[in-house]
Structure 1
């Protein structure tokens, strides 16, 4: 007999998916301990679970999966192939329709690009080294690695007035941090300085004339990492953006390179979320609980606090990628989780820092 954890690991379904399929009557455990509620699976159920996992990865509807599993278990040699062929035809039809719609979207984007003009942006900002280092550390983990989306493989620098926001996202999570131009050292979180602290030598203007405009540039990860390597002693650093060239200088050392040419997504729009319920996080306890997770999805149970749940519990339940959540928990020992709803992004923020937070997309618990 296999426990639910062993079955999840061996089948590729995951514990949350196995619980869902049990409740749906698709893959029912061979035995449930009446005292503990623990689920146990017979050896012959492993093949059925692996087949179920493949069908779900193919996107087959649950109603058809039921019939496939029933036919497979009963040795039906006619029904199962017909169900598979029908599902494949639906996928091919859906793909053709999606291609048509995406072609129309590309045409709209092309028209928009040709109707826009891009001005050369210039900005110069003197920043606290400790604040810039902390901001880079706070967002670096969320940068993308997908070669098909190279613009997400960098850190976005958004300069407005004397404030610098750093942003990174890989589509499934996003991290935002802020630091400000200042002549004095700011706290390590890099987000507590205000515009009144800014030095007179800072300038930011799309036309290069000074005066507090907005300049945005996306720095590729190798260049961002080289910048971070310079920021070792907390000394002020001078950031210069001149068109597509980005340079950071501190203590007589400098690194420079070209920015990524594509437009970064409008991250401010992505953060326009309704207000949710804020819950304190026991960060050390969550780290310990998540450190032992082997599945790709774990369940957070939200009551007055946030815990990692193994079984059905009272309270809101939301699925997350445990590795991604561990990355976000590195932001500090005192964090809050803002819960908006089961399908909305989770927001992790520090109570003492207004402009540093991360968003984490939930994972469906419905298999």
Structure 2
């Protein structure tokens, strides 16, 4: 018999992934200690675990993997071959369709690039309160991406329009937006992506109560205060149209006491969910949330599978609650597949949204 740690080491599946597959009924341990709950696997299950890792690497759905493993254990090679061939055909059709769609998107992108020319003839200068800009950066920094394959998300968007400065960050799975007032510009819209290291350097300067100067000159941005400055090149990319992404339908709102809710999330039950990345299986802990009839938000126990519950990455939820920087926050729930919005009670202009995670049945 192999322990779950030994099984993870020998099969290439992580411990959390093995727990997930056990709960999903795909690779159930041969024996579970009734006292400690520790999982043990039989010798023949190592081959099944290695097969499972390869099938998931190929993107096969869990429902089909169950059938493949059943055919594998019963030596039904015809069934296994048919399932493998059917999945391969789906992948080839999907790749063909994706190529066609990407060709169309590239054509649209080329037309857009040829028709849009950005001209900035003079530097944009504006003044902003140091505490307000510091609070805005603190409210969004947690959502910035660290994925090298998505360089356009590896920065903080400064979106200047009129007397407002919107600060935005996203990594696709979460987004945060904060607004602060400015003076000195009052003109047309200007957008620049400030690299995360430069945004962090700017934040380090914002320790006083004075107003600071922000200058955008072509592809360079500078923050100056008290004889000190942080300056650098902007990212030469297009940031997603966040205004379109945050137009959420009205949902159920619940006011939560943040310290108590954070403790409930930290200590409450979680479920494992796989996050697919090339060449690796990553499992994240999910908190499944529901709103009771009296408007209280609770963390669901395992087995409470009402279709109206919303599952979100627990770590992301805790980051968003901390970034909200209030003792009370509003959680806004839409449909189970709609983003969860986390808002401050005193303003609609500073908020974050978390993408829900679909639970495997």
- Report the TM-score, using the length of structure 1 for normalisation: 0.79
Q: Rate the CA distance shift 1:347–1:224 in 2: closer, same or farther, 3 A.
A: same
CA distance in 2, matches of 1:29, 1:308: 27
CA distance in 2, matches of 1:234, 1:54: 57
**Which residue is equivalent to 1:306?**
297
Q: Is the 8 A contact 2:60 2:87 kept in 1?
A: yes
**Which residue is equivalent to 1:115?**
115
Q: Is the 8 A contact 2:71 2:80 kept in 1?
A: yes
- Unpaired segments ≥5 residues, structure 1: 182-198, 206-212
Q: Is the 8 A contact 2:29 2:41 kept in 1?
A: no
**Which residue is equivalent to 1:340?**
334
Which of structure 1's runs of 4+ aligned residues deviate more than 4 A? Answer: 6-9, 26-33, 38-42, 45-54, 292-295
Superposed displacement of residue 126, structure 1: 0.9
Query: What root-mean-square deviation, in Å, do the aligned CA atoms of Structure 1 and Structure 2 show?
Result: 3.2
CA distance in 2, matches of 1:57, 1:365: 19
Q: Is the 8 A contact 2:30 2:41 kept in 1?
A: no
Superposed displacement of residue 235, structure 1: 2.0
- Does residue 224 of structure 2 align to residue 223 of structure 1? no
Q: Is the 8 A contact 2:330 2:344 kept in 1?
A: yes
Q: Rate the CA distance shift 1:301–1:30 in 2: closer, same or farther, 3 A.
A: farther
CA distance in 2, matches of 1:103, 1:252: 51
Superposed displacement of residue 204, structure 1: 3.9
CA distance in 2, matches of 1:53, 1:345: 30
CA distance in 2, matches of 1:9, 1:310: 23
CA distance in 1, matches of 2:45, 2:138: 43
Figure out how many residues of one structure are paired with residues of the other and give that number. 331
- Does residue 248 of structure 2 align to residue 254 of structure 1? no
- Does residue 294 of structure 2 align to residue 319 of structure 1? no
Q: Is the 8 A contact 2:31 2:41 kept in 1?
A: no
Q: Which moved more, 1:276-285 or 1:133-142?
A: 276-285
- Does residue 209 of structure 2 align to residue 234 of structure 1? yes
CA distance in 1, matches of 2:57, 2:314: 20
**Which residue is equivalent to 2:281?**
none
- Does residue 185 of structure 2 align to residue 203 of structure 1? yes
If each structure's strand is expressed as a fraction of its own residues, which one has the higher value? 2
Q: Is the 8 A contact 1:143 1:170 kept in 2?
A: yes
Q: Secondary structure at the match of 1:179?
A: strand
Superposed displacement of residue 342, structure 1: 1.1
CA distance in 2, matches of 1:335, 1:342: 20
Q: Is the 8 A contact 1:338 1:347 kept in 2?
A: yes
CA distance in 1, matches of 2:316, 2:224: 32
- Report the TM-score, using the length of structure 2 for normalisation: 0.80
Q: Secondary structure at the match of 1:224?
A: helix
**Which residue is equivalent to 2:156?**
155
**Which residue is equivalent to 2:41?**
43
Q: Rate the CA distance shift 1:13–1:162 in 2: closer, same or farther, 3 A.
A: farther
CA distance in 2, matches of 1:112, 1:99: 20
Q: Rate the CA distance shift 1:132–1:11 in 2: closer, same or farther, 3 A.
A: closer
Q: Rate the CA distance shift 1:352–1:98 in 2: closer, same or farther, 3 A.
A: same
CA distance in 1, matches of 2:355, 2:157: 20
Superposed displacement of residue 86, structure 1: 3.4
Q: Secondary structure at the match of 1:299?
A: strand
**Which residue is equivalent to 1:192?**
none
